[in-house]
Structure 1
Amino acid sequence: MSLDRIIVALDQMSIEEIDVFLKQKDNTLPFVKIGLELFVKHGPELVHRIHNDYKKKIFLDLKLHDIPVTVAKAISSLKGLPIDFLTVHLSGGEAMLKAAVAEARVSIPDCKLLGVSFLTSLETTDLEDLFGIEDTDEAFLRLFKVASISGIDGVVSSPLEVSLLKKHFPNLLSVTPGIRFRDEIDSNVVQDQKRVMDPEQAFDEGSDYLVMGRSLTKTDRFSERIKSLQE
């Protein structure tokens, strides 16, 4: 496995905790994710600081979802930010996604736009209760098709849908949250994520990038965990 393909989610961390985590001598992970909570609280300044002080690539996970013009204007407001990935919700529809792509190519041309499918906190029963989805593969394929048509660069989905994505839309990047180490899965230490897989399995399924949070940011076995990701 390659650390270049691991993205660390800095979720539910204070600025002080982020600094301590990123300053660890064994922390050679090059890619971090800044989510909605951190961005709302600290704004663009946090993105610039992490990029400049720690030389990290940035995945800005805002999951934008609104009418097309609003999403386009939101992306326009990110102009000049050193971000490599940005998320929008695929359920916003083709018009919204195309508007997002068009604006991203102008305002943040070096950034890849990723479409979020269904949140990894949702189980099959949730998908049926909320959206009337009984055939989950068909539901995911519909979203993946919209992603492909819109021209976005990739998809965020749980590891359980990666093989489906790569079979039908191999040109789309697969960015995969819901990743836990095998011992965590066996012990059911997965917090609010339901559709999970370990790193080796997820890469075998075809994931291009893995998103890992508390498994790395809250562990007292950080060096050991990093070594295991390099094996």
Structure 2
Amino acid sequence: MQRPLIIALDFKDQQEVKEFLQHFQQEQLFVKVGMELFYQEGPEIISYLKKLGHNIFLDLKLHDIPNTVKQAMRGLAKLDVDIVNVHAAGGKKMMEAAIEGLEAGTQEGKKRPICIAVTQLTSTSQDMMHKELLINEDINNVVLHYAQMAKESGLDGVVCSTHEVETLNAKLGSSFMTVTPGIRMKEDSTDDQTRIASPDLARRLGSTAIVVGRSITKQDNPYEAYLKVKKAWEESEE
């Protein structure tokens, strides 16, 4: 997989998605469908996006007992999306069960979806971890530990902030995916994110893929904003 720019389709329904995608003509995109959209529209939104030729990251962050996650992943595999994810906090048995479910549900002749694990949300700060989650380790150590568990469980990579990418690449290898949300252009608002970065910084630090939402979706000209982010993401390869 090339290093994709994934657009977060954080919209309330399919109509809003259609209106947004009208800005992109025939361009093939890599898009993220999260809870807000999937819980309103269900598998129909996946079918719609696939018919348009877009690649899909289905971002549902499964976190439950192993058997429940296994059976859920068996069903999600049949949607033929490109990436799915779980919460690493569910532990190794749960993550191993996720892979088992995906392999069981993937149609013959097709490749199973890439499976990645959320380490810590980019809205999570060190202070929040200590005071609310009662995790007293340094956030970087927690992310590395969760990522190591994910790799040992057979997953393909993790969701993390750009600021942890260099360490993860050094410890786990660059072939282990690092998908980084919390991407903002320097002039954009941080909104509810705390561990953020610009597209060019994400590339320099070695992110496999970036996830961009409001810096594209909430702009007056989304296509122009997309090209701007894409240029910053790709030009930093030089």
Match of 2:195 in 1: 195
Match of 2:42 in 1: 43
Q: Which of residues 154, 157, 166 is equivalent to 2:157?
A: 154
Cα pair 1:72 1:99 within 8 Å, conserved: yes
1:145 pairs with 2:148: yes
Q: 1:103 to 1:60 in 2, by over 3 A?
A: same
| Separation (CA, whole Å) in 1 of partners of 2:167 and 2:121 | 16
- Partner letter of residue 36 of structure 1? M
Cα pair 1:4 1:29 within 8 Å, conserved: no
- Partner letter of residue 116 of structure 1? V
Match of 2:182 in 1: 178
Match of 2:80 in 1: 82
1:113 pairs with 2:115: yes
- Partner letter of residue 59 of structure 1? F
Structure 1: unaligned runs, 5 residues or longer: none
Question: Root-mean-square deviation (CA), in Å?
Answer: 1.7
Deviation at 1:26, TM superposition (A): 5.8
CA deviation string 1:175-212 (max 9, x = no partner)? 1100001111xxxx111111000000001111011000
**DSSP-derived class of the 1:11 partner:** coil
Deviation at 1:19, TM superposition (A): 0.4
| Separation (CA, whole Å) in 2 of partners of 1:103 and 1:210 | 26
Q: 1:102 to 1:114 in 2, by over 3 A?
A: same
| Separation (CA, whole Å) in 2 of partners of 1:131 and 1:204 | 33
User: What is the total number of aligned residue pairs between the two structures?
Assistant: 224
Deviation at 1:133, TM superposition (A): 2.4
Q: Which of residues 54, 62, 69 is equivalent to 1:56?
A: 54
Cα pair 2:77 2:113 within 8 Å, conserved: no
| Separation (CA, whole Å) in 2 of partners of 1:179 and 1:215 | 8
Deviation at 1:29, TM superposition (A): 5.1
**DSSP-derived class of the 1:183 partner:** coil
| Separation (CA, whole Å) in 1 of partners of 2:93 and 2:123 | 26
Cα pair 1:7 1:29 within 8 Å, conserved: no
**DSSP-derived class of the 1:78 partner:** helix
TM-score, length of structure 1 as denominator length:
0.91
| Separation (CA, whole Å) in 2 of partners of 1:152 and 1:40 | 25
| Separation (CA, whole Å) in 1 of partners of 2:18 and 2:93 | 39
TM-score, length of structure 2 as denominator length:
0.89
- Partner letter of residue 22 of structure 2? K
Deviation at 1:13, TM superposition (A): 3.7
Deviation at 1:78, TM superposition (A): 1.9
CA deviation string 1:132-170 (max 9, x = no partner)? 224222211211110111010010011111111111011
Structure 2: unaligned runs, 5 residues or longer: none
| Separation (CA, whole Å) in 1 of partners of 2:205 and 2:50 | 30
Cα pair 1:71 1:96 within 8 Å, conserved: yes
| Separation (CA, whole Å) in 2 of partners of 1:96 and 1:112 | 16
Percent same amino acid among aligned pairs? 37
- Partner letter of residue 151 of structure 2? S
CA deviation string 1:86-140 (max 9, x = no partner)? 0100010000011111111221343100100111111110111113224222211
Cα pair 1:133 1:139 within 8 Å, conserved: no
Match of 1:11 in 2: 10
Cα pair 1:62 1:87 within 8 Å, conserved: yes
- Partner letter of residue 219 of structure 2? T
| Separation (CA, whole Å) in 2 of partners of 1:25 and 1:57 | 14
| Separation (CA, whole Å) in 2 of partners of 1:91 and 1:175 | 17
- Partner letter of residue 142 of structure 1? H
Deviation at 1:23, TM superposition (A): 1.7
- Judge which range, 9-18 or 89-98, deviates more: 9-18
Deviation at 1:27, TM superposition (A): 7.2
